Structure 1
Amino acid sequence: MNKPAKPTLGVQLIVKNEAELLPRCLASLNGADEIIVTDTGSSDQTMDIARAYGADVYAVGWSNDFSAARNTGLSCANTDWILVLDADEVLQTSIESIKDILQGSTAEAYTVRIENWLGSNPEDRLYHSNVRLFRNGQGYLFSGRIHESVDPSILKIHGAAAIGTSSIEIIHLGYLPSIMSAKNKISRNEQLLRLALEEEPDDAFYSYNLAVTCCQDGRLKEAEELLRHTLGHAPLQVSYRPSMIRDLCKIYLATGKVKALDSLLTRELTRYGDYPDLHYIQGQSWESQGLPDRAYQSYQHAVDTSSAAAPHRAYVSEQGMDSFRPLHRMGVISQQLGKQEEAARLFHRSLQHHSLYLPAMQGIASAFQQLEVPDEDIAGLLMQLSGIAQSTARGSIIRTLYELGAYKVIAELPPELFPLETDTVLLILSSWVSTGKYHAFSRTAAKLRAQPLLLSPGELDTETMRQLWLLEAVCTWELGEKLQQEKWLQSPAELRSGLLFIDTQLSSEAVLPQAAVADSGHSRLITEVIRLAVKLELVTLGKLLVERFPAYTGDLAEALYEEGWRAEAGELFIRLVSSKEARGSTLRYLGEMLADKGHYAEAADWYRLSLEGSPGDEAASAGLALCYLHLAELGLGEVANSFKGEKAHGPLQEDRAAIAHSIEVLNRTPWHTAWNYKQRQRGADLSL
């Protein structure tokens, strides 16, 4: 008995000036029985490219209506089924596999899974489902001026049971920042959405999508107002309602409206308890409020959704919201509570779901460093977990080690396993300078300047070349040598005069007056060089630079403090206070140092001064609040100790307990400078 023939499948696109993206899309359609491209006014090679791939091309005028263009293409279709794509999409499932799904199908249409790329990292993905595959010849038409859909046409005739769920996958590149900017999509979409709302002012779908567009444009207040209004009017059963909740919660979180966020989630999680993104956002809210136990539970709920008995609904969801993302945050919380071994296990579980998730890699490395595992063994563990075959894996390993300050390990990585690559060259060469491999660095830097294409995947960008020149200058000065002017004439013009100016002063015995330095126009570069020297642990060079440029003592002090050299920073802070030159971050760091030593009244004075110059500094505000709470607790303690018998208990002790709880909660918020293990060890002698 002959097997019935597979149904025919055509693909439909509407395009305009898509010459750059279209070839990748069309190349993924091998085996399609028909490709119909509706062009709405291209002025580049789009139509020629489409014809070269065998597409039938129809030119139509653009009427500010995506549905009209889609329906023009539908009227020309000759296949049994139609798959709809955009030029910035790539079909991941083969055409033959799709035909296998369709053979013998009784459905009228299918949803497909769309993977939206949001950035360059593997985890920068957002997933959603949409009806893109449907039967031809049934009179189905698209509706909607923008964000058009064929669903209403199908639902009106057959109901929801006629739409099946498929495993078909499509990659969508259009949300990548470079493409969004080049296509000016935000402006175009807003124009069409506002036009659609003029025609249909009560349409909740248009209102929701206008809120999304405002979010993309950074107008969070307007987006919030639109979402709140739309939530009040949209029916509970609309498919995009969970996404509205998610987006509004993210806005509340970004703008610090945690009470509104918590209230909204308390209500909506009863409806969407299997939506991992909502649990994750709830966890972020609890963390921001200094409530790690509640946050941990919310993250666990997010993980639990992956194994729930009922399958997930077709939610819009970021990659890893039910796996590596919440597991990573659970590890961070465990680490903050001093449970390093538990943290390491959670980070390891996160990496089992996404072996190249950089936050989890950095987390597990940090946990093992806290457990005093040697840097060499940590490097070996990272290689075991992620492998080194991929450039992305090698880059993640090197970035993680660099964050730990494991410069020696990086400098000794075998070049045959870890070659210089565009995204790691600066980290590797910086580690060479930090560990004294000066001549190897100089030879390699010279080769790279002469033949930048030695690197994979290609030529170094302008900023990387600039940083290489800075590294070479720092390396030269660390060796006590002068810059060779004939070579430095090859350096970028915006660096050249500044570096030669610093070089001249380093070899001079005279200290240049601040006015002369300011007039030179090189102030920013001097600060950058001082900070680079400290970052590379070349502290002596940093001090030498400040000897020649005393006005930058504050920059050196702050850099030393941020890298954990608190004793050295403290000496400079005292000098700045004595000369009444303390300002900026120095004031907050003084507050931190004094608060760490229990001198809360003096610390509060510095925090107040810091806030006078930077009223919106949340870290300084939190530090000041902590000082006041500590002072209140000490004051109540003195009063309580003066009482005897029954008076020593009761309301006074309850007040003390409440203040102690507030201190505990506030201490869990990110108010203090964060140091890694090595940086904390640098200040261990201060008993902080």
Structure 2
Amino acid sequence: MQNRLLGIHMIVQNEEHHLVRCLDSFKPMDSECFITDTGSTDRTPEIARHYGATVLHARWEDDFAHARNISLPLASTEWILCLDADEYVIQGLEELLNYLPKVHKSVSRLRITIENRIGEGTGESVIFQPVRLFRAHQGYRYAGRIHEQLVRGGTRDGGEQDGDDLAINDSFIREEGWIAEHEPLAPLRLVHDGYLPSTIAQGHKPLRNLKLLQRELADHPGQPFHLYNAGVTYCQLGHIEQAAEAFTESFLHTPLHAPYRSTLVRDYAKVLLAMGRYDEAHGLLAGEIQRYAGYADLHLIYGEILEQQGLEERAYKSYARAVNCREGFDGADLKDKSKAGIRGIHQQAIEQTDKPESDGLREGKSFDEVQREPARMERHYVTDVGCDSYKAYTAMGRLAQKRGFLQESAHLYSLALSSEVSYAPAWTGLADVLQQSGETDESIAETLLTRWKEHSKKEDSDPSVITSEDDLTHVVHVLASSGAYGQALNLLHGDAWNTRIKHEDYLYWMLCANRVSDALQYVQNQWSEEHRAGVNLQPEQRLDLALTYWANDLSISESFVAAAEPQEREGWRLLNDLLDTGKRVYFEDDRDGKIVHQTLQAATELSKNIWIRAVQTGQLAFARKLYEKVAAINPEHDENGVHSRWLAAILYRQGYTMAAAELLIQSMSKGDMDAESLFYLGEAVYVKGHYDQALILFQQALEKDSEQRQARAGAAVCYMQLALGVIRQERTRSPADKVLIAQQTVLEQQLRTAEGIPWRTVFHAKERRNQLADQAHFIMHDREG
């Protein structure tokens, strides 16, 4: 017998792939169910009837509210729950049925919690709490062609139109239902995954939404709520400049009390940050974080903006405030030195408050008063999962590491993992800082395993013994991400095929560890004949397979060539012949030279991808060999030094700075240099402390490309370093000169800020290892003589 307490109401169109999962999740409730179908051409109506739903057929009129309202008068239950087919229950269904009879009769609307998944990885979800539950036959209906709103009698109390139930969603935000702060929260939690990137990429929903929003804006020009949603839709479609324009217009006209305003501020700041408009983003959030002081997302975004401006200490404090926003958080896990071992700038960030002039506190309120305000107001913000915990801790760990607080950084990464054990950036950061601290790969592996067992609540008498396949797989992947390929392979003991390690990953790691003979044996013993021929492999995996053969002085098979893309086959065949030491390459040309030209072009383009992969896997000797082979048959391929500079850039970004510098110096001696090459060479000189020479190179880079932000920052830092050197020299003669002391103090602070701007090439554990590795001599012989 169906319960008369709660009924489900939905509108659908072609939802056969989602509807079964949704209705299955509500099956234990045995609820009355009305499904309004707006023109499905698949099995949706049939599935709905199979689950006992009453199917109502309606013509789609480009109006979500109209479709929603069709079933509401037919409800025979006390409460109505409005759903979408791509939502399903994960928690609280039984608790909800026990909760509803206890709700006071004066309460007619309830919020629920929805986790909107915007990606496949950990932390790629948005949590919001819309009004989705309301009492039947109490005058409620929906209004609005799109992002429909739940209204009562046409208006809210006081004559304002209710703006509680809206729908926005993309990589920045999805909120389907704006939160009214006074409605109770029911114990029901849903997941919505209809706006994953794979769905967004199809473009159907965003284009449909944009069409409806444009119609709304035609009827109501300048309406800020519709402008906001238009901005979100532009983000979904990748039109970020149009999104910024829409957000700007909406922000200017949105009332301060509007329920969606806090989320508008968040998305607006994200767009400005993505566009590199840091000053505007800073100006926006410097004031708004006081209004929404309990909104962790704003503090996290503000920290990212401050980082981009070089204000690292303030960024760190902003991340710490994001953690303080966590419900029930009192800072104990950070302040307890015996437990946390916190040192350095993190302790200052937690225990000290900024001065009013630096934070822009307004209205004469103290920092503590502002921090307590969210608790008094009981705001319910739309938030990215992890902003108030592991994402903030990881950001703090990254900054602490950059500033040299390595012990503190490792602890912060561990705090992140205590909040979310599967958060990959925290694991990668922990492995990275341990390597930077001088730990051996064996020690790093043991530490990672111990942390994994601690955070996973797994017990083992000997942390160095791996007994779980999950433990092994996880630790191995983290080690590999930090460039400790040899240790990762040692942990596997040759049994990769008995774990969840993919064959392609195992092969890549062996190449990176320079175990090329083992890689060949692995391919021959473990790969299927189809895979050995390169069939159904991704492009990078095909490159790894070819590198395995060539690094062992073997040729790739004709079946491998046949499995390649048609436009690449001749290139593969030519390169294979070139690398065969016992074979001479001859060209059979037609009269106008087309065959030779096309084959050389195919080989040259393909060789670029092979060079990149060879450098990524550390096969520098092979990369040099291939370079010379291609140059031998096509002397004109690098007559202007373009390929040399291109290869130098690849080497530099992978940490092979010495090999890259050799190529760049050779290119400089032969002729023209581009802006990127000049910057890399300037940075290499800057690291050596030759600020005057680095300045010249950065200035030359700016002459080539005046928009290169990294070179501009580098030049500014060089000027400061040179000026500081002059002041220090003068102070040796006049150590008590107060003017010189003051100038030095100011300049050192300015230098810290300038150095904090992310202008330097970032080298993590893998690249740091490459800097210490033997680097092949890449100076190519002059072939003109």
> 1:335-374 counterparts in 2 under 5 A?
335-374=401-440
- Give yes or no for contact 2:146–2:209 (8 Å, CA) kept in 1: yes
**1:185, CA displacement in angstroms?**
1.2
**1:662, CA displacement in angstroms?**
2.6
In structure 2, what is the equivalent of residue 169 of structure 1? 189
- Report the Cα distance in structure 2 between the residues aligned to 1:25 and 1:450, rounded to whole angstroms: 42
- Report the Cα distance in structure 2 between the residues aligned to 1:450 and 1:567, rounded to whole angstroms: 40
Residues 683 and 517 of structure 1: is their aligned pair in 2 closer, same or farther, counting only changes over 3 Å?
A: farther
In structure 2, what is the equivalent of residue 661 of structure 1? 749
Out of 481, 496, 515, the position equivalent to 2:554 is 481
Question: Which amino acid in the other structure matches residue 68 of structure 1?
Answer: H
**CA RMSD, aligned part only?**
3.4
Q: Do residues 74 (structure 1) and 72 (structure 2) align?
A: yes
| TM superposition score normalised by structure 2 | 0.78
Residues 165 and 39 of structure 1: is their aligned pair in 2 closer, same or farther, counting only changes over 3 Å?
A: same
Question: Which amino acid in the other structure matches residue 486 of structure 2?
Answer: K
Residues 344 and 151 of structure 1: is their aligned pair in 2 closer, same or farther, counting only changes over 3 Å?
A: farther
Out of 226, 238, 242, the position equivalent to 2:246 is 226
SS at match of 1:103: helix
- Give yes or no for contact 2:247–2:264 (8 Å, CA) kept in 1: yes
- Report the Cα distance in structure 2 between the residues aligned to 1:257 and 1:105, rounded to whole angstroms: 48
**Residues 277-334 of structure 1, C-alpha deviation per residue, up to 9 Å, x if partnerless?**
1111111111111111111111111101112672852101000111001111111111
**Residues 15-50 of structure 1, C-alpha deviation per residue, up to 9 Å, x if partnerless?**
111122222112112023211110111122221121
- Give yes or no for contact 2:514–2:619 (8 Å, CA) kept in 1: no
- Report the Cα distance in structure 1 between the residues aligned to 2:208 and 2:662, rounded to whole angstroms: 57
- Report the Cα distance in structure 1 between the residues aligned to 2:535 and 2:296, rounded to whole angstroms: 39
| TM superposition score normalised by structure 1 | 0.88
In structure 1, what is the equivalent of residue 57 of structure 2? 59
**Residues 45-101 of structure 1, C-alpha deviation per residue, up to 9 Å, x if partnerless?**
221121122211111011111111000011222222111100111122354332111
> 1:95-134 counterparts in 2 under 5 A?
95-106=93-104, 107-134=107-134
Q: Do residues 548 (structure 1) and 629 (structure 2) align?
A: yes
SS at match of 2:291: coil
SS at match of 1:141: strand
- Report the Cα distance in structure 1 between the residues aligned to 2:749 and 2:419, rounded to whole angstroms: 36
**1:131, CA displacement in angstroms?**
0.7
Q: Which moved more, 1:290-299 or 1:301-310?
A: 301-310
- Give yes or no for contact 2:92–2:189 (8 Å, CA) kept in 1: no
- Give yes or no for contact 2:7–2:75 (8 Å, CA) kept in 1: yes
**Residues 335-394 of structure 1, C-alpha deviation per residue, up to 9 Å, x if partnerless?**
011111100000000011111111111111111112222223323333443469999987
- Report the Cα distance in structure 2 between the residues aligned to 1:321 and 1:562, rounded to whole angstroms: 30
Out of 563, 570, 573, the position equivalent to 1:500 is 573
**1:121, CA displacement in angstroms?**
0.2
In structure 1, what is the equivalent of residue 400 of structure 2? 334
**1:634, CA displacement in angstroms?**
4.1
- Give yes or no for contact 2:96–2:186 (8 Å, CA) kept in 1: no
Residues 475 and 416 of structure 1: is their aligned pair in 2 closer, same or farther, counting only changes over 3 Å?
A: closer
Q: Do residues 586 (structure 1) and 606 (structure 2) align?
A: no
- Give yes or no for contact 1:12–1:83 (8 Å, CA) kept in 2: yes
**1:154, CA displacement in angstroms?**
9.5
In structure 2, what is the equivalent of residue 382 of structure 1? 448
- Report the Cα distance in structure 1 between the residues aligned to 2:495 and 2:75, rounded to whole angstroms: 53
**Residues 102-135 of structure 1, C-alpha deviation per residue, up to 9 Å, x if partnerless?**
1232221210111110011021001111111111
SS at match of 1:20: helix
In structure 2, what is the equivalent of residue 243 of structure 1? 263
**Any gaps of 5 or more consecutive residues in structure 2?**
163-179, 331-371, 457-465, 588-595, 632-637, 775-785
> 1:594-673 counterparts in 2 under 5 A?
594-634=685-725, 640=730, 649-650=738-739, 654-673=742-761
- Report the Cα distance in structure 1 between the residues aligned to 2:312 and 2:125, rounded to whole angstroms: 27
In structure 2, what is the equivalent of residue 535 of structure 1? 616
**1:137, CA displacement in angstroms?**
2.0
Residues 521 and 582 of structure 1: is their aligned pair in 2 closer, same or farther, counting only changes over 3 Å?
A: farther
**Any gaps of 5 or more consecutive residues in structure 1?**
455-459
Question: Which amino acid in the other structure matches residue 164 of structure 1?
Answer: P
Q: Do residues 409 (structure 1) and 490 (structure 2) align?
A: no
> 1:514-533 counterparts in 2 under 5 A?
519-533=600-614
- Report the Cα distance in structure 1 between the residues aligned to 2:411 and 2:701, rounded to whole angstroms: 40
- Report the Cα distance in structure 1 between the residues aligned to 2:259 and 2:471, rounded to whole angstroms: 38
**1:573, CA displacement in angstroms?**
2.4
- Report the Cα distance in structure 2 between the residues aligned to 1:478 and 1:461, rounded to whole angstroms: 20
Question: Which amino acid in the other structure matches residue 314 of structure 1?
Answer: H
Out of 22, 26, 31, the position equivalent to 1:25 is 22
In structure 2, what is the equivalent of residue 457 of structure 1? none
**Residues 616-642 of structure 1, C-alpha deviation per residue, up to 9 Å, x if partnerless?**
33222222322333344445666x469
In structure 1, what is the equivalent of residue 7 of structure 2? 10
In structure 2, what is the equivalent of residue 260 of structure 1? 280
In structure 2, what is the equivalent of residue 426 of structure 1? 504
- Give yes or no for contact 2:3–2:32 (8 Å, CA) kept in 1: no
Instruction: Tell me the percent identity.
Output: 30
Residues 553 and 677 of structure 1: is their aligned pair in 2 closer, same or farther, counting only changes over 3 Å?
A: same
- Report the Cα distance in structure 2 between the residues aligned to 1:360 and 1:161, rounded to whole angstroms: 34
- Report the Cα distance in structure 2 between the residues aligned to 1:641 and 1:297, rounded to whole angstroms: 34
In structure 1, what is the equivalent of residue 172 of structure 2? none
Question: Which amino acid in the other structure matches residue 434 of structure 2?
Answer: F
**1:490, CA displacement in angstroms?**
4.1
**1:603, CA displacement in angstroms?**
2.4
- Report the Cα distance in structure 1 between the residues aligned to 2:606 and 2:285, rounded to whole angstroms: 48
Out of 324, 339, 355, the position equivalent to 2:390 is 324
- Report the Cα distance in structure 2 between the residues aligned to 1:461 and 1:421, rounded to whole angstroms: 23
Residues 635 and 565 of structure 1: is their aligned pair in 2 closer, same or farther, counting only changes over 3 Å?
A: same
Q: Which moved more, 1:269-278 or 1:202-211?
A: 202-211
- Report the Cα distance in structure 1 between the residues aligned to 2:151 and 2:71, rounded to whole angstroms: 17
- Give yes or no for contact 1:116–1:172 (8 Å, CA) kept in 2: yes
- Give yes or no for contact 1:331–1:344 (8 Å, CA) kept in 2: yes
In structure 2, what is the equivalent of residue 50 of structure 1? 48
Question: Which amino acid in the other structure matches residue 701 of structure 2?
Answer: S
SS at match of 1:475: helix
Question: Which amino acid in the other structure matches residue 10 of structure 1?
Answer: G
Q: Which moved more, 1:297-306 or 1:224-233?
A: 224-233
Question: Which amino acid in the other structure matches residue 535 of structure 1?
Answer: Q
Q: Which moved more, 1:45-54 or 1:571-580?
A: 571-580
**1:433, CA displacement in angstroms?**
2.5
Residues 512 and 372 of structure 1: is their aligned pair in 2 closer, same or farther, counting only changes over 3 Å?
A: farther
Residues 207 and 682 of structure 1: is their aligned pair in 2 closer, same or farther, counting only changes over 3 Å?
A: closer
Aligned pairs, number? 671
- Give yes or no for contact 2:181–2:379 (8 Å, CA) kept in 1: no
In structure 2, what is the equivalent of residue 156 of structure 1? 156
Residues 678 and 162 of structure 1: is their aligned pair in 2 closer, same or farther, counting only changes over 3 Å?
A: closer
- Give yes or no for contact 1:6–1:99 (8 Å, CA) kept in 2: no
- Report the Cα distance in structure 2 between the residues aligned to 1:165 and 1:155, rounded to whole angstroms: 22
Question: Which amino acid in the other structure matches residue 430 of structure 2?
Answer: I
Question: Which amino acid in the other structure matches residue 205 of structure 2?
Answer: K
**Residues 228-270 of structure 1, C-alpha deviation per residue, up to 9 Å, x if partnerless?**
3333333322211111111122122222333333333232222
Residues 112 and 16 of structure 1: is their aligned pair in 2 closer, same or farther, counting only changes over 3 Å?
A: same
SS at match of 1:116: strand
Q: Which moved more, 1:64-73 or 1:209-218?
A: 209-218
Residues 392 and 280 of structure 1: is their aligned pair in 2 closer, same or farther, counting only changes over 3 Å?
A: farther
In structure 1, what is the equivalent of residue 366 of structure 2? none
**1:11, CA displacement in angstroms?**
0.5
Q: Which moved more, 1:186-195 or 1:118-127?
A: 186-195
